[in-house]
């Protein structure tokens, strides 16, 4: 059976790029992924972007980004699923290549967050919540996370400081990631004294929004160039699952059902169990979401999702490393692009190209991106692939 193989990866540093436009950010990542894949011209381009229409006043990115990057005439469309936009675009590319519709597909996640400033940016990001019944009451994504965290602490009696382990791990891992926004360890005192955002959630529980673009070139194994210089990674599972958009419409706001089901489906496709992976690039847009993702994936019992991180088994040398290149918290969260960054980082680990953060012998990774409080959950399974001829 033909495999879907990651032939190329590319990323730009995450940060506030006042001098770089949406199209140029995207082009840099796209070019990098194509160079890494030996210059392949992809037959399709799937774009993940959340805010381009609102913040950059730019739609029709398929035409813009193909034309700007020398790919005129190539099929190109945008996928939107809030912060999971890039992850959903990857899912679409995987489907296109695995179905045989195309031999190769380029995925680019791009977010140009800093094209406007101030409270209008908060309104733009709040488009991912229910406008009629949440946003109109002043609810933002951070408010949703605060509501979830408050209820979690109440139901399980977990203290606020238990969550500190997540941003501290993310920051420790970002030190060695040249593309990370914050390459600096986080002191415990800095967490404890961080100002509240949406109490009980503080500034260090929230991943910073930023600009960035990342790209992945998927090729069917029988169409691969024979002379690629790097190890190969194949995609063995990919699943998109949705939940009810509003927290108030859910039977249990702590269940993160879509996150759990998407892990289950992606793992079933790959024929593995979640604990069979060497790393888990999970979603830490807010610390509490990382906690609930571990629980939804059955990697921690309900109410105990902080413990694996507090006890060190999610460190780089632990049983299940997570956020290995800094996660959203310290690499930065370029919203719709983040899901593609996560895939790129997992591919670096599986190729053995993660530098000082390399997990020895990593062969299989679980990658999960959430849009909102697991309103959309996208999970992939990636594996090192040595069987090429």
Residues that bind another protein (CB under 8 A): 118-120, 122-123, 126, 130, 132-140, 142-143, 146-151, 154, 195-201, 244, 246-249, 253
In this complex, which beta carbon is closest to another protein, that of residue 49 or of residue 140?
140
Residue 273, number of CB atoms within 10 A of its CB: 12
Residue number with CB closer to another protein (126 or 370): 126
Q: Which is nearer to another protein, 151 or 265 (CB)?
A: 151
CB of 127 to another protein, least distance (A): 10
Smallest distance, Å, CB 121 to another protein?
A: 8
Burial (CB < 10 A; 0-12, 13-18, 19+), residue 314, is: buried
> E strands of 55-130, at which residues?
75-79, 104-111
Residue closer to another protein (CB basis): 48 or 285? 285
Rg, Å, the chain Cα set: 19
Q: Are 236 and 382 in contact (CB under 8 A)?
A: yes
- Least distance from C-beta 318 to another protein, angstroms? 32
248-257 contacts: CB < 8 A, separation 24 or more?
248/133, 248/134, 253/147, 253/148, 253/151, 253/373, 254/148, 254/151, 254/152, 254/155, 254/292, 254/302, 255/296, 256/289, 256/292, 256/293, 256/295, 256/296, 256/373, 256/374, 256/377, 257/296, 257/374
Contact 115, 55 (CB under 8 A): yes
- Please say which residue, 216 or 247, places its beta carbon nearer to another protein: 247
Query: Rounded to whole angstroms, what are the CA distances from 155 to 39, 108, 125?
Result: 53, 40, 29
Q: Are 342 and 179 in contact (CB under 8 A)?
A: no
Min dist CB 154 to another protein, Å, is 5
Largest CA distance in the chain: 58
| Eight-state DSSP code of residue 163 | G
Looking at the Cβ atoms of 192 and 353, the one nearer to another protein is 192
Shortest reach from residue 241's CB to another protein, in Å: 17
- Give the shortest CB-170-to-another protein separation in angstroms: 22
The separation between CA 95 and the C-alpha centre of its own chain, rounded to angstroms, equals: 18
Decide whether 78 or 198 has the Cβ nearer to another protein. Answer: 198
> Minimum distance between the CB of residue 200 and another protein, rounded to whole angstroms?
8
Would you say 86 or 141 has its CB closer to another protein?
141
Q: How far is the CB of 161 from another protein (least distance, A)?
A: 18
């Amino acid at each position: 059976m033909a495999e879907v193989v990651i032939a190329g990866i590319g990323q730009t540093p995450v940060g506030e790029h006042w001098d770089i436009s949406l199209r140029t950010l995207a082009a840099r990542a796209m070019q990098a992924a194509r160079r890494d894949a030996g210059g392949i011209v992809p037959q399709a381009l799937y774009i993940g972007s959340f805010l381009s229409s609102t913040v950059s006043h730019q739609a029709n990115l398929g035409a813009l980004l193909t034309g700007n990057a020398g790919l005129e005439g190539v099929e190109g469309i945008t996928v939107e699923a809030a912060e999971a936009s890039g992850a959903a675009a990857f899912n679409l590319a995987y489907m296109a290549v695995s179905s045989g519709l195309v031999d190769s597909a380029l995925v680019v996640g791009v977010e140009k967050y800093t094209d406007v400033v101030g409270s209008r940016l908060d309104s733009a990001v709040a488009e991912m919540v229910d406008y009629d019944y949440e946003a109109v009451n002043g609810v933002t994504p951070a408010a949703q996370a605060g509501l979830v965290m408050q209820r979690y602490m109440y139901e399980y009696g977990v203290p606020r400081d238990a969550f500190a382990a997540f941003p501290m791990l993310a920051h420790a891992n970002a030190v060695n990631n040249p593309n990370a926004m914050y390459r600096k360890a986080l002191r415990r005192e800095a967490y404890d004294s961080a100002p509240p955002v949406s109490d009980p959630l503080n500034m260090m529980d929230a991943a910073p929004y930023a600009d960035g673009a990342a790209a992945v070139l998927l090729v069917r194994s029988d169409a691969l160039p024979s002379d690629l210089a790097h190890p190969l990674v194949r995609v063995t599972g990919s699943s998109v699952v949705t939940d009810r958009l509003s927290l108030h419409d859910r039977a249990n706001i702590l269940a993160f059902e879509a996150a759990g089901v998407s892990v289950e489906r992606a793992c079933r496709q790959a024929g593995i169990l979640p604990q069979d992976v060497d790393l888990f690039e999970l979603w830490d847009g807010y610390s509490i979401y990382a906690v609930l993702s571990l629980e939804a994936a059955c990697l921690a019992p309900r109410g105990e999702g902080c413990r694996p991180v507090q006890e060190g088994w999610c460190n780089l040398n632990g049983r299940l490393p997570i956020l290995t290149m800094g996660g959203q918290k310290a690499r930065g969260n370029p919203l719709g692009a983040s899901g593609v960054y996560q895939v790129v980082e997992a591919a670096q680990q599986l190729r053995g190209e993660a530098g000082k953060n390399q997990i020895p012998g990593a062969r299989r990774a679980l990658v999960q991106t959430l849009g909102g409080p697991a309103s959309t959950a996208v999970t992939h399974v990636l594996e090192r692939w040595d069987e090429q001829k």
